[in-house]
Amino acid sequence: MERVTIYDIAEKLKVSPATVTRALNNLPKVGTEKRNLIIKTAEEMGYTPNRAATSLSRKQIRIESFIYGAVAEFYQDIIDGINVAYEELKDFNLKVNMHVMDKSNCDEDMLCECLASIKQTETSAVLIYSVSDTEIIARALDRLILAEIPVMVVNSDVSTVRPHYDVRPDGEMAGRMAAEILDWVTSGKNICFFMGDRDTGILRHNNFGFLKEAEERKLNIAARFYDNGDAEKALQYFEEFIATDSQNTGGIYINSAVSNSICRGLFERGLLQKYRIVASDLGKDIVEYISNGQMDATIFQNPFKQGYESLMRLYAVMSGFKDVELAKQVKPVIICKSNVEYYAQYAKNNSL
């Protein structure tokens, strides 16, 4: 019979692992009613403390967190999730150093120099969100893993050779959802596909799922564009395409890190309402367009939850819990006019 952990109790009661730990160790910031419920549930489930984990938790855990992104509105949600988890874990001898590097003024070499400077004697683990999944970044992370420094990757699965931990959305499911929606609404017309950046792992998973579902449904993908994070370039490609195919094009799937900017550009050009559109973010412009009935849907992949889960899980690994699986997928949600205000508020309030 497998040992019951605080994570099993947390999942059963829909609370954070930190809340369970506080309750079981008589620490503050837990109400009496909730504390009693957690203690009772732990007893019913046969929970016994992990002495090795308890011993390890007395040592300071120092995590270096790197955010290398291109769209601040997106990666700030990941940062917020990490920060909320950090606040919950601060009383457990944890130190997180946050390094934010925007792609507009930092390149991959600068990120890799920072990763190369990490010393095992000073760092317990590394948490990283990188908008790019390239060989140079993979090599830098491999060196850390080889030095026995655990690595947690957020929002993607960087193609390292050695095992690492990751929290990411189910990209293939998100892509399949988008194809299914467009099949419902395009009435057999052509579909235009914005495929994002070739160097972004999560977009590759999304693209695979979309194309697979589109093939099964016999959708006609008439045009595909890699925008590589440049919304204006993507819009230029699209305008050139519809100049020759405007009557036959019915739908657009925007699977891009700059989907909010692409949607705004379509709106400014008077093109947004001419096509059935599915996007892949929950930016404020997309929220407005869906609310107003100007576009159909977006696939929400909850970057806040990804950030939160990544730090919680990495802390569990460093605290000695052996049953933390390498990969955790956050399931995507279809957002349309009927639920967009709920999820916009959900994201604004950093809810889980």
User: The sheet that has 61-69: what strands, in order across it?
Assistant: 94-102, 61-69, 125-130, 151-154, 165-169, 327-330
Q: What is the pLDDT of residue 323?
A: 74
pTM of the shown model:
0.84
**Cβ atoms of residues 167 and 330 within 8 Å:** yes
Domains and CATH numbers, the chain: 6-49 (1.10.260.40), 58-169+304-330 (3.40.50.2300), 171-300 (3.40.50.2300)
Q: Are 56 and 125 in contact (CB under 8 A)?
A: no
What's the CA gap between 213 and 182, in Å, rounded?
A: 11
Q: Please report the pLDDT score of residue 350 as a whole number.
A: 58
Per-residue pLDDT reduced to its tens digit, 18-29: 888 888 888 778
Cα separation, 147 vs 118, in Å, equals 10
State residue 56's pLDDT score: 46
Name residues whose C-beta falls within 8 Å of residue 342's C-beta, 6 or more positions apart in sequence.
none
> Would you state the structure tokens that stand for residue 326, as one six-digit string?
């390498």
pLDDT on residue 347: 64
- Phi first, then psi: give them for residue 94, nearest 5 degrees: -110, 140
Q: How far apart are CA 145 and CA 257, in angstroms?
A: 28
Q: Say which residue the tokens 């370039």 belong to.
A: 233
Report residue 141 CA to chain centroid gap.
19
CB 140 within 8 A of CB 108: no
Residue ranges in the chain whose pLDDT is less than 70: 1-2, 50-58, 157, 198-199, 322, 346-352
